Structure 1
Amino acid sequence: MPDPRLFYIDGSWVEPATPRLADVINPATEASIARISHGSSADVDRAVAAARAAFPAFAATSREERLALFGRIVECFKARREELARAVTAEMGSPAKLSWDMQTGSSIVYFEEAAAVLRDFEFDRLKGTTLIAHEPIGVCGLITPWNWPLNQIVTKLAPALAAGCTVVLKPSELSPLSALLLAEVLHEAGVPKGVFNLVNGTGAEVGAAIAAHPDIDMVSFTGSTRAGILVAEAAAKTVKRVHQELGGKSANIILPDANLDLAVTDGVNRCFINSGQSCIAPTRMFVHRSQKDEIIDRAKAVAVAAAAIVGDPTSPETTMGPVAGMAQFTKVGGMIETGIAEGATLVAGGPGRPKDLSRGYFIRPTIFSDVSPDMTIARQEIFGPVLSILTYDDEAEAIRLANDTVYGLAGYVYSQDEEHARRIAAHIRAGRIFINNPPFDFNAPFGGYKQSGNGRELGIFGMTEFLEVKAVLGYSQV
Structure 2
Amino acid sequence: MSFSLIPVRDELQVRPGNLFIDGAWHGWEGARFDQIHPATNEVMTTFADAGARGVDLAVKAARRAFDEGPWPRMPAQDRKRMLQRIIDRLYESELELAKLQTLDNGIPFHFSRNTRVSAKAAADVFDHYAGWADKINGETYPQFSSASNMHYMSFREPVGVVGAVLAWNAPLLMFSMKVAPALACGCTVVVKPSEYTNLAARRFAEIVAESDLPPGVFNFVTGGPETGAALSSHPGVDKVTFTGSAATGERILMASGANMKRLSLELGGKSAALVFPDTRSVATTAASLMGLCSTFLSGQVCSTPSRAVVHVSILDEFLYHAGEQVRKVRFGNPFDPETTSAPIISKRQVSRILGYVESGKAEGARLMFGGDTPGGELANGNWINAALFAGVDNGMTIAREEIFGPVLSVIPFETEEQAIRIANDSEYGLAGCVYTTDVSRALRVARAVRSGSVGINGYASIPNAPMGGVKRSGLGREGGWPTIEAFTELKTISFNLDA
Deviation (angstroms), 1:113:
1.4
- The equivalent of 2:170 in structure 1 is 148
- The equivalent of 2:291 in structure 1 is 269
Q: Is the 8 A contact 1:244 1:455 kept in 2?
A: yes
1:349-364 paired onto structure 2 within 5 Å:
349-353=370-374, 356-364=377-385
- The equivalent of 1:59 in structure 2 is 72
Gap change, CA 1:475 and 1:380, over 3 Å in 2: farther
- The equivalent of 2:324 in structure 1 is 301
Q: CA–CA distance in 2 between the matches of 1:284 and 1:54?
A: 46
1:73-472 paired onto structure 2 within 5 Å:
73-102=86-115, 103=117, 104-119=119-134, 121-128=135-142, 129-203=151-225, 205-259=226-280, 260-272=282-294, 273-306=296-329, 309-353=330-374, 356-437=377-458, 440-472=461-493
- The equivalent of 2:148 in structure 1 is none
Deviation (angstroms), 1:328:
1.5
Q: CA–CA distance in 1 between the matches of 2:36 and 2:425?
A: 37
Aligned residue for 2:429, secondary structure, equals: coil
Aligned residue for 1:4, secondary structure, equals: coil
Alignment-mate amino acid for residue 377 of structure 1: I
Deviation (angstroms), 1:437:
2.1
Give the root-mean-square deviation of aligned CA atoms: 1.8
Q: Can you list the C-alpha shifts for 1:13-54, whole angstroms capped at 9, x where unaligned?
A: 1133x5112110011111101011111211111111111111
Gap change, CA 1:349 and 1:239, over 3 Å in 2: same
Q: Is the 8 A contact 1:131 1:472 kept in 2?
A: yes
Q: Is the 8 A contact 1:131 1:475 kept in 2?
A: no
Identical positions, percent:
38
Q: Can you list the C-alpha shifts for 1:98-151, whole angstroms capped at 9, x where unaligned?
A: 1111322321211111123334x2423212221111000100001111111111
Gap change, CA 1:126 and 1:464, over 3 Å in 2: same
- The equivalent of 1:8 in structure 2 is 20
Q: Is the 8 A contact 1:304 1:348 kept in 2?
A: no
Deviation (angstroms), 1:265:
2.1
Deviation (angstroms), 1:270:
2.6
Q: CA–CA distance in 2 between the matches of 1:344 and 1:82?
A: 43
- The equivalent of 2:38 in structure 1 is 27
Q: CA–CA distance in 2 between the matches of 1:178 and 1:256?
A: 43
Aligned residue for 1:283, secondary structure, equals: strand
Q: CA–CA distance in 1 between the matches of 2:123 and 2:57?
A: 29
Alignment-mate amino acid for residue 10 of structure 1: D
Q: CA–CA distance in 1 between the matches of 2:373 and 2:384?
A: 7
Structure 1: 5+ residue runs without aligned partners? none
Deviation (angstroms), 1:302:
1.1
- The equivalent of 1:72 in structure 2 is 85
Q: Is the 8 A contact 1:2 1:181 kept in 2?
A: no
Deviation (angstroms), 1:441:
3.4
Q: CA–CA distance in 1 between the matches of 2:376 and 2:368?
A: 17
Alignment-mate amino acid for residue 424 of structure 2: N
Gap change, CA 1:440 and 1:280, over 3 Å in 2: closer
Q: CA–CA distance in 2 between the matches of 1:262 and 1:313?
A: 26
Deviation (angstroms), 1:353:
2.5
Deviation (angstroms), 1:213:
1.2
- The equivalent of 2:4 in structure 1 is none
Aligned residue for 1:275, secondary structure, equals: coil
Q: CA–CA distance in 1 between the matches of 2:376 and 2:320?
A: 22
Q: CA–CA distance in 2 between the matches of 1:269 and 1:248?
A: 17
Deviation (angstroms), 1:475:
7.3
Q: CA–CA distance in 2 between the matches of 1:457 and 1:215?
A: 23
Q: Can you list the C-alpha shifts for 1:300-337, whole angstroms capped at 9, x where unaligned?
A: 1112222xx12211111211020111111221122122
Q: CA–CA distance in 2 between the matches of 1:369 and 1:325?
A: 27
Gap change, CA 1:164 and 1:476, over 3 Å in 2: farther
Worse-matched range after superposition: 167-176 or 348-357: 348-357
Alignment-mate amino acid for residue 117 of structure 1: W
Worse-matched range after superposition: 378-387 or 309-318: 309-318
Q: Is the 8 A contact 2:433 2:459 kept in 1?
A: no
Q: CA–CA distance in 1 between the matches of 2:463 and 2:241?
A: 19
Aligned residue for 1:154, secondary structure, equals: helix
Q: Is the 8 A contact 2:283 2:318 kept in 1?
A: no
Q: Is the 8 A contact 2:23 2:216 kept in 1?
A: yes
Q: Is the 8 A contact 1:311 1:362 kept in 2?
A: no
Deviation (angstroms), 1:190:
2.0
Q: Can you list the C-alpha shifts for 1:252-292, whole angstroms capped at 9, x where unaligned?
A: 00111111233222222233331111000000000111211
Q: CA–CA distance in 1 between the matches of 2:178 and 2:64?
A: 21
TM-score, normalised relative to structure 1: 0.95
TM-score, normalised relative to structure 2: 0.91
Q: CA–CA distance in 2 between the matches of 1:391 and 1:202?
A: 41
Q: CA–CA distance in 2 between the matches of 1:475 and 1:6?
A: 54
Worse-matched range after superposition: 284-293 or 321-330: 321-330
Aligned residue for 1:361, secondary structure, equals: coil
Q: CA–CA distance in 2 between the matches of 1:314 and 1:466?
A: 37
Deviation (angstroms), 1:458:
1.1
Q: CA–CA distance in 2 between the matches of 1:475 and 1:21?
A: 59
Aligned residue for 1:347, secondary structure, equals: strand
Q: Can you list the C-alpha shifts for 1:224-278, whole angstroms capped at 9, x where unaligned?
A: 0001111112221111112211000000001111112332222222333311110
Deviation (angstroms), 1:476:
7.0
Aligned residue for 2:190, secondary structure, equals: strand
